[in-house]
Amino acid sequence: MRLPTRVKMVEVGPRDGLQNEPRPVAAAARIELIERLADAGLGAIEAGSFVSPKWIPQMADTDKVLAGLKRRDSVVYSVLVPNLKGLDAALAADVSEVAVFAAASETFSRRNINCSIDESLDRFAEVAGAARARGVPVRGYVSCVLGCPYEGNVAADAVARMAARLVEIGCHEISLGDTIGVGTPGRAQALIEAVSARVPVAKVAVHFHDTYGQALANILAALEKGVACVDSAVAGLGGCPYAPGASGNVASEDVLYMLDGLGIRTGVNLSKLAAAGRFVSDVLGREPASRVARALAAKERSHPA
């Protein structure tokens, strides 16, 4: 099994996780969560999104969150932006990176951002050009890469074409989103092969939701195909408001435990990460969805330090 020696973990909990909570989490708690994640050693944190608050009220106050952070040079603070209005707000908030988000499925594109795939690419080309002109790198997402809640199966080649188009408009990294968490390892590998025929694998990230409990297996399968960038959400927060039935992102603690066990370097500290997960779970009044976090808590209860 050939695996990367180092993996970049991209923490999406403060955005992808909290956007799907029924009730908004206050900016102060979002700030504390992000500070704790940075303390744990995460170098890439999605801090929120500048989207319409009518569509995603949970991400309102992303400007306050960014204003309240003690910025560290070691951390890239990223936000999602759907259009130039979002980009302007992101630039005003002095983000280090923005992310645009396209879909491989026409219906999902319309439901999520109210436009067709082609219209979204035109819009994102404008956004990416303007961001890059200001020296801000752009990440690109492709959603529904292994299935769509409305259209079912999605062809790997359609995803590969979308990924290539996002690179053409200037995205430095392409995150492949299994938005509804339906993928399995064989299909994940076939997808990475199709995408890496068009986009260098060094630019590819994977973003698995864990609806069917396949996310860790899919990540390992992707690592075997040369992927070295993995999105996850602390405590397994997350989902997508436009993807019915989608569960949270794969838990960062679970990903890190696996990577640590494989001897793959990440720079992230598991016990600090788990503490960040407990913090946000307490705010939400629930147990972390991370199996590793629950196992660590049980161990601590039986052998207190």
- Which residues of the shown chain bind ligand HMG in the complex (CB under 6 A)? 16, 19, 49-52, 55-56, 80, 82-83, 85-86, 101, 112-114, 141, 143, 177, 179, 207, 240
As measured in angstroms, the least distance from the Cβ of 47 to ligand HMG is 14
How far, in Å, CA of 253 to CA of 300, rounded? Answer: 16
User: Which segment (10-18, 57-65, 119-127, 251-259) binds Mg ion by CB under 5 A?
Assistant: 10-18
As measured in angstroms, the least distance from the Cβ of 259 to ligand HMG is 20
Query: Which one-letter DSSP state was computed for residue 205?
Result: E
Minimum CB distance to ligand HMG smaller for 242 or for 278: 242
How far, in Å, CA of 60 to CA of 119, rounded? Answer: 25
Minimum CB distance to ligand HMG smaller for 181 or for 296: 181
As measured in angstroms, the least distance from the Cβ of 215 to ligand HMG is 11
Determine the residue with CB nearest ligand HMG: 177
Assess whether 240 carries a catalytic annotation: yes
Among Mg ion, ligand HMG, none, the one that 86 touches (CB under a kind-dependent 5 to 8 A) is ligand HMG
Catalytic position from the list 144, 148, 171, 240: 240
Applying CB under 5 A, does 16 fall inside the site for Mg ion? yes
Minimum CB distance to ligand HMG smaller for 16 or for 210: 16
Minimum CB distance to ligand HMG smaller for 96 or for 112: 112
* Residue 170 three-state SS: coil
Judged on CB neighbours under 10 Å (0-12, 13-18, 19+), 236 is buried
How far, in Å, CA of 207 to CA of 159, rounded? Answer: 14
Phi, psi dihedral angles at 219 (to 5 degrees): -65, -45
Residues in Cβ contact with 283 at an 8 Å cutoff, skipping those fewer than 6 apart: 25, 29, 33
Q: Which sign does the torsion angle of CA 97, 103, 107, 108 carry? A: negative
Applying CB under 5 A, does 46 fall inside the site for Mg ion? no
Q: Which residue has the tokens 């993928």?
A: 183
CA-based nearest residue to 98, from 63, 46, 30, 133: 46
Tokens at residue 234, please? 């602390």
Minimum CB distance to ligand HMG smaller for 113 or for 256: 113
Among Mg ion, ligand HMG, none, the one that 101 touches (CB under a kind-dependent 5 to 8 A) is ligand HMG
CA-based nearest residue to 207, from 218, 197, 199: 218
Residues noted as catalytic: 240
Residues of this chain that interact with Mg ion (CB under 5 A) are 16
